[in-house]
């Protein structure tokens, strides 16, 4: 198996861990439908009877027939667990008996209507929590679910049917499912079943037809169900491809990747990619490659980050890749993500420049293989792109001076070794000097050291001596090989150094979350200590001044700060209040209050926004790139969850 085809070790480890978790818990199969009456329960019972015929121990935990004779006929062939009676508001309700089911411990339990709310007084509030505990006990579960009860689709469904959905199931339950089977029925057939009384009784059917069971509603819900199933299957396909190390594209669904740079043409490219993704109903990714051999100015990098944020606002997933070869990095990432289309901008150049310098779009097209390449060209804007070098990134004169001194020292050593070594062996001494200069991580000094090594060797040690002239053709070949070898050593040394820097960056992000988690755990339940430890840690990690603001008497008050001013101006307080009220970030690097020199992030929990984090980068000209923003958001979410947990603990203790 070649290196390109070898599976990613991290993906393999993740896959092994996932399989170990699945082996310990039961298997979950969800019968997903667009609306009641499509046949989810009937299909589930038929599959369960087929499993029972093969000798599997199958029982019914909860299945509601709603008076449908075909369901009741199937239930006669399966053991039904007895329910427990729960007295609630002078009414005796029959509910699922979880303890009895766990004691019975069958191989498979049928649990209808996953989104059902249990009666007060039971162990769990929701039925999906019962199902999760059953799975954790190693029992398989078949269950049914309508698409309108999926938590992430709650707002979309409410907008379609113009009514709130109270009972929801978290998306994590769908991710836990081993199988999701779509039970589909055309809207016309479903409306016919409703009229025939096969969904609800006559009075309920008439009411449902006036509000929920409208043809337009059913069409829209059907599309959501189909899309949800397709996304789940698409995630399984991507996980399988990565685990098996499959590099060629499986065009099961459209996925678009757009190459973003600092130039103004990227904004036009992003908008075009958004329109194409919307027309294809496809996922799209915006990618910026931070090329290690170039040192872009701060303004150039900031502009690339702004372009990435524009793509993120338009609905794209954003990534920053690191590497030398832009074409190889983009195509490798595209194959890993199963991208089917890549959009890139092509700059129109003269023919002689295309002859001597490679064109990025042409190289991408040449190596794309089965991935379609969409090339855009033209005049994007009148704004000139930022220059690649900035005065704030000075030329490393000290390293250039070190290169001159190193070649001088190597030449002196070569004079001392010349009586004992042949001229060919002295080349190795110069190679050693070039390697030392390459460790500086700068391409310019390394190239200068290579050229000076060739010139010094030619002038002092190649006959005729002390002339830049070579009479023996063998020495000409030696000088050419020496130039190539010194350049290869220089590039490899630079590559190794910068790859190590990229690895340290990834390790830094991982250790950041780990250390933050440990510090939050060590502080216990004291809110002041928790906030103080958090601001100190975030300030050190992001090299910024950090401040936490929490509400007190309908006003935001500074509860903790580190390397930050004691009080905020009225304008800054207004920004913090806006972030708290709307739960959206604002300030530096955003489109809301962009003149502020600090970034304001909401502390969002399940009950809403509980506070605001103010972070002031000491290097204000540097915007946080998307991966740093994601790291900051993860840290904030982790802090907010711990704060919410402590507040809930305090409420429970006060109530007790």
Helices 626-655 and 298-313: angle between axes, nearest 10 degrees: 60
Residue 392 lies in a domain: no
The answer on 101 and 26 residing in a single domain is: yes
Is residue 471's pLDDT more than 80?
no
**Within 13 Å and on the Cβ side, how many CA atoms surround 289?**
21
> Which stretches of 523-611 are DSSP H helices?
527-542, 570-582
Is residue 313's pLDDT more than 90?
no
Of 347, 376, 405, the one marking the end of a domain is 376
pLDDT class for 142, splitting at 50, 70, 90? very high
The answer on 405 and 348 residing in a single domain is: no
The answer on 208 and 267 residing in a single domain is: no
Residue 391 lies in a domain: no
**pLDDT at site 107:** 93
Query: Whole-angstrom Cα distance, residue 67 to residue 197?
Result: 9
Q: Which residues contact 122 (CB under 8 A, 6 or more apart)?
A: 86, 95, 98
CATH value at residue 177: 3.40.50.300
Query: Which of 379, 374, 382, 490 lies closest to 430 in space, CA to CA?
Result: 490
> Which stretches of 376-472 are DSSP H helices?
397-417, 426-438, 443-461
CATH value at residue 531: 3.30.450.40
Residue 146 lies in a domain: yes
pLDDT class for 112, splitting at 50, 70, 90? very high
More confident residue, 565 or 586: 586
CATH value at residue 284: 3.40.50.620
Range of the domain at 112: 9-243
**pLDDT at site 46:** 92
β-pair type (341-345, 255-259): parallel
The answer on 234 and 266 residing in a single domain is: no
- Token output for 135: 């799975």
Residue 503 lies in a domain: no
Number of independent structural domains in the chain: 4
The answer on 276 and 228 residing in a single domain is: no
Is residue 57's pLDDT more than 90?
yes
Of 479, 497, 515, the one marking the end of a domain is 497
Per-residue CA distances from 632 to 68, 76, 574 (Å)? 53, 56, 22
Query: Whole-angstrom Cα distance, residue 303 to residue 265?
Result: 12
Is residue 101's pLDDT more than 80?
yes
Is residue 295's pLDDT more than 60?
no
Q: Tokens 């190795």 label which residue?
A: 428
pLDDT class for 249, splitting at 50, 70, 90? low
Coil, strand or helix at 40 = helix
Residue 382 lies in a domain: no
Query: Whole-angstrom Cα distance, residue 218 to residue 214?
Result: 6
Query: Which of 128, 121, 116, 134 lies closest to 59 in space, CA to CA?
Result: 134
DSSP summary character for residue 147: G
Per-residue CA distances from 279 to 221, 274, 282, 330, 445 (Å)? 19, 9, 8, 24, 50
Q: Which residues contact 555 (CB under 8 A, 6 or more apart)?
A: none
Q: How far from chain centre, in Å, is Cα 62? A: 38
- pLDDT tens, position by position, 540-583: 777 788 888 888 877 888 888 888 777 788 888 888 888 888 88
Q: Which residues contact 619 (CB under 8 A, 6 or more apart)?
A: 543
Strand partners, 286: 258, 318
Query: Whole-angstrom Cα distance, residue 157 to residue 245?
Result: 38
Helices 473-522 and 626-655: angle between axes, nearest 10 degrees: 10
The answer on 75 and 112 residing in a single domain is: yes
**pLDDT at site 257:** 92
Q: Is residue 635 within 8 Å of 538, Cβ to Cβ?
A: yes
What is this structure's pTM? Answer: 0.47
Coil, strand or helix at 122 = coil
- Omega before 464 cis (within 30°)? yes
Per-residue CA distances from 5 to 2, 9, 37, 341, 631 (Å)? 5, 12, 47, 21, 31
The answer on 271 and 233 residing in a single domain is: no
Residue 73 lies in a domain: yes
Query: Whole-angstrom Cα distance, residue 305 to residue 627?
Result: 10
Of 178, 210, 243, the one marking the end of a domain is 243
Q: How far from chain centre, in Å, is Cα 331? A: 18
Q: Is residue 372 within 8 Å of 340, Cβ to Cβ?
A: yes
Query: Whole-angstrom Cα distance, residue 9 to residue 106?
Result: 37
Mean pLDDT within 310-319: 84
Query: Whole-angstrom Cα distance, residue 193 to residue 200?
Result: 9
The answer on 112 and 20 residing in a single domain is: yes
The answer on 527 and 488 residing in a single domain is: no
First to last CA, the chain: 63
Q: How far from chain centre, in Å, is Cα 457? A: 52
Q: What percent of the residues of the chain are helix, what percent strand, and what percent coil, each to the nearest 5?
A: 50, 15, 30
**Within 13 Å and on the Cβ side, how many CA atoms surround 338?**
19
Query: Whole-angstrom Cα distance, residue 156 to residue 594?
Result: 31
The answer on 221 and 356 residing in a single domain is: no
Q: Is residue 224 within 8 Å of 153, Cβ to Cβ?
A: yes
- pLDDT tens, position by position, 492-551: 766 676 666 666 666 666 666 667 677 676 666 677 788 888 888 888 777 788 888 888
Residue 514 lies in a domain: no
Per-residue CA distances from 50 to 43, 47, 72 (Å)? 11, 5, 17
Query: Using alpha carbons only, how large is the chain's radius of gyration in Å?
Result: 33
**pLDDT at site 109:** 95
- pLDDT tens, position by position, 430-465: 778 877 776 665 667 777 877 787 778 777 877 666
pLDDT class for 209, splitting at 50, 70, 90? low
The answer on 270 and 236 residing in a single domain is: no
Q: Is residue 36 within 8 Å of 198, Cβ to Cβ?
A: no
**Within 13 Å and on the Cβ side, how many CA atoms surround 149?**
23
Query: Whole-angstrom Cα distance, residue 304 to residue 294?
Result: 14
Query: Whole-angstrom Cα distance, residue 274 to residue 525?
Result: 46
**pLDDT at site 191:** 82
The answer on 348 and 218 residing in a single domain is: no
In the chain, % of residues over pLDDT 90: 9
In the chain, % of residues over pLDDT 70: 74
Exposure string for 410-449, b = 16+ CB within 10 A, e = fewer: bbeebeeeeeeeeeeebbebbbebbbbbbebbbbebbbbb
What is the sign of the dihedral through the CA atoms of 98, 102, 103 and 107? positive
CA–CA–CA angle 178, 180, 181 (5° rounding): 135
């Amino acid at each position: 198996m070649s290196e390109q085809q070898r599976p990613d070790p991290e993906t393999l480890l993740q896959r092994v861990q996932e399989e170990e978790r699945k082996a310990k818990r039961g298997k979950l199969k969800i019968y997903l439908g667009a609306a009641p009456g499509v046949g989810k329960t009937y299909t589930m019972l038929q599959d369960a009877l087929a499993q029972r015929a093969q000798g599997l121990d199958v029982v019914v935990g909860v299945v509601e027939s709603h008076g449908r004779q075909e369901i009741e006929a199937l239930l006669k062939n399966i053991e039904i667990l007895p329910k427990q009676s729960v007295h609630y508001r002078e009414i005796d309700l029959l509910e699922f008996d979880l303890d009895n089911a766990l004691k019975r411990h069958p191989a498979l339990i049928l649990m209808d209507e996953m989104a059902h709310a249990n009666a007060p007084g039971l162990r769990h509030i929701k039925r999906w929590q019962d199902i999760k505990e059953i799975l954790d006990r190693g029992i398989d579960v078949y269950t049914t679910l309508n698409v309108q009860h999926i938590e992430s689709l709650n707002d979309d469904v409410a907008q379609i049917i113009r009514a709130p959905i109270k009972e929801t199931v978290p998306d994590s339950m769908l991710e836990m499912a081993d199988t999701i089977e779509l039970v589909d029925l055309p809207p016309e057939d479903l409306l016919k079943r409703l009229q025939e009384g096969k969904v609800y009784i006559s009075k309920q059917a008439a009411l449902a037809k006036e509000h929920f069971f409208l043809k337009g509603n059913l069409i829209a819900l059907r599309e959501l169900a189909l899309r949800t199933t397709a996304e789940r299957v698409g995630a399984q396909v991507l996980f399988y491809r990565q685990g098996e190390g499959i590099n060629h594209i499986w065009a099961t669904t459209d996925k678009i990747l757009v190459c973003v740079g600092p130039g103004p043409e990227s904004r036009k490219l992003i908008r075009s990619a958004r329109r194409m993704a919307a027309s294809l109903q496809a996922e799209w990714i915006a990618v910026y490659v931070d090329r290690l051999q170039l040192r872009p100015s701060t303004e150039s990098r900031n502009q690339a980050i702004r372009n990435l944020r524009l793509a993120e606002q338009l609905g794209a997933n954003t990534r920053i890749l690191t590497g030398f070869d832009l074409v190889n990095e983009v195509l490798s990432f595209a194959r890993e993500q199963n991208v089917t289309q890549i959009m890139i901008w092509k700059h129109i150049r003269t023919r002689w420049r295309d002859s001597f310098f490679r064109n990025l779009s042409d190289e991408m097209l040449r190596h794309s293989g089965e991935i379609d390449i969409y090339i855009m060209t033209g005049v994007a804007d009148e704004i000139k792109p930022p220059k690649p070098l900035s005065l704030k990134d000075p030329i490393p004169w000290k390293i250039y001076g070190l290169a001159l001194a190193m070649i001088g020292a190597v030449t002196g050593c070569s004079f001392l070794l010349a009586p004992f070594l042949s001229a060919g062996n002295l080349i190795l001494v110069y190679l050693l000097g070039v390697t030392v200069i390459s460790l500086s991580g700068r391409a310019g000094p390394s190239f200068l050291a290579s050229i000076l090594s060739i010139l010094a060797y030619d002038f002092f040690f190649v006959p005729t001596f002390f002339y830049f002239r070579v009479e023996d053709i063998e020495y000409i070949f030696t000088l050419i090989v020496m130039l190539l070898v010194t350049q290869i050593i220089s590039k490899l040394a630079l590559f190794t150094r910068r790859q190590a820097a990229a690895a340290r960056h990834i390790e830094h992000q991982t250790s950041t979350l780990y250390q933050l988690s440990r510090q939050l755990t060590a502080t216990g339940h004291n809110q002041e200590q928790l906030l103080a430890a958090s601001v100190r840690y975030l300030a050190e990690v992001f090299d910024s001044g950090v401040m936490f603001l929490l509400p007190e008497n309908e006003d935001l008050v500074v509860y903790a700060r580190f390397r930050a001013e004691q009080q905020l101006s009225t304008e800054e307080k207004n920004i913090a209040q806006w972030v708290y009220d709307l739960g959206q970030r604002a300030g530096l690097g955003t489109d809301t209050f962009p003149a502020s020199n600090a970034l304001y992030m909401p502390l969002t929990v399940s009950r809403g926004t509980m506070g605001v984090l103010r972070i002031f980068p000491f290097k204000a000209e540097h915007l946080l790139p998307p991966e740093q923003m994601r790291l900051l958001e993860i840290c904030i979410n982790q802090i907010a969850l711990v704060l919410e947990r402590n507040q809930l603990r305090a409420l429970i203790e006060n109530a007790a």
